[in-house]
Amino acid sequence: MLIYDTGDSHQPCTPFVKNTSAIFGFSQGCLPLDRWDELNAFFQKSGAKIIFGLNALNGRVPMPDGSLGGPWNYTNAASFIRYTVNKGYDIHGWELGNELSGSGVGARIDADQYAADVITLKHIIDSTYQSNPTKPLVLAPGGFFDAAWFTELVSKTKPSQMDVITHHIYNLGPGVDDHLIEKILDPSYLDGEASIFSNLQGILKFAGTSTVAWVGEAGGAYNSGHHLVTDAFVFSFWYLDQLGMSSKYDTKSYCRQTLVGGNYGLLNTTTFEPNPDYYSALLWHRLMGTKVLSTTFNGTNKIRAYAHCARKSEGITLLLINLSGNDTNHIYVTSEGAQTQSARKESRRFGHIPGLGEAAELTREEYHLTPKDGNLQSQRVLLNGNVLVTDANGDIPKLEPVQVEGTQPITVGPYSIVFAHIPSFYAPACR
């Protein structure tokens, strides 16, 4: 359990120490305010948006059913928030708790009590940030999805006490599992997570709330992942599929575990050189806009296909993931159902791409990602055949596309990922 050294706890500020008899195997620990100052200096330099997870266990008492009950003792958290505001630190959101939803991880709290505590946090933020032009987001519960528990939390905080409902994803199981690569390459296994995204989307729609869904933490395989799997090329299949799937079900943000740390970091923990997923995330961020298009792929189930309006440019961007190590696919793009009937009659067909008109003669930009030496467990990724490495100053290389003639199919090689930006593609949603 973490306390903040704001002077109200009247006890020495000591770090965590191992204690096997305590919950989670550690003693109580303390965050010194000078450390918080250092962190905020770093946040400011990096330009990052910061979500801070508050300790939600203060004041809890064990209940007969094994859960923890009683209202959240918020005094220490409230003084920590006050200190943060007085220092002028910019916090994007305050999240209550970590993995206490449903059956919890090591500890759990009933949804009814949690909802009351979220409302308390909302009051604290409203009053502390009273004179500020903008208020940080209120987020909860930062835990694993449990339909009944999440439904109750949403219904008791609606319509606007909780800005964001956050859930965690480690759907590949423990990092020590030797079958992680098989799971990542299995389309039906990947599809399993869709039910959670869909379920949560349904809960929010039905409740009539302003709360939106985020993935608050996702490392794929828990307990720090698996070296040469979750920090290698093969993990981009899982990661980009997650980004595509979560977007499809109206997830507004996706927080990856981790930037650096464990075997699932976006950066190498010793050299800080980007792992393949860093480049996957960067291409996603630059190319995929926030409007998601309904996308179907007819053919092998080994191709995963997602399409968004292009980011900051015309047309659409397609993401194609080939989970097959044997097959090269030649993919044609059509806009069936994307236009009104009259507009479709007028459009002339070019190649196999209806709805593009004369613009199909234009080129598109393609970004093909493949593993170095064809090794799925490589920590080096090739973009259009060129290895991506930082320069002597540590700067990210230019991510240059290849130009392809518009009437040609998109060629997706074995075990590869393709982003295709098609500026001439007409999708009414992208206007």
How far from 347 is each of 336, 344, 359, 390, 430, CA to CA, in Å?
12, 5, 10, 45, 18
What number of CA atoms fall less than 13 Å from residue 269's CA on the CB side? 11
Looking up tokens 């995204």, which residue turns up? 197
Nearest to 418 by CA among 394, 397, 405, 402: 402
Whether 99 is a known active-site residue: answer yes
Active-site residue (options: 38, 95, 152, 217):
217
Cβ-contact 54, 94 below 8 angstroms: yes
Comparing CA positions, the residue from 148, 142, 188, 191 lying closest to residue 169 is 142
* Active-site choice (99, 152, 273, 314): 99
In the numeric block, the tokens 């956050």 are attached to 166
Q: What are phi and psi of 301, to 5 degrees?
A: -80, 0
Do the Cβ atoms of 371 and 383 come closer than 8 Å? no
First to last CA, the chain: 50
Residue 405 is a catalytic residue: no
DSSP track, 139-173? EEEEE---HHHHHHHHHHHTTTT-SEEEEEE-TTE
In the three-class reduction of DSSP (H, G, I as helix; E, B as strand; rest coil), residue 44 is classed as helix
The answer to whether the CB of 18 falls within 8 A of the CB of 24 is no
Whole-number Å distance between alpha carbons of 288 and 246: 13
Residue type, 106: G
Quote the longest CA-to-CA distance of the chain: 76
Alpha-carbon distance of 261 to 18, in angstroms, equals 20
Residues 293, 308 contacting (CB under 8 angstroms): yes
**Which residues are the active-site residues?**
99, 217
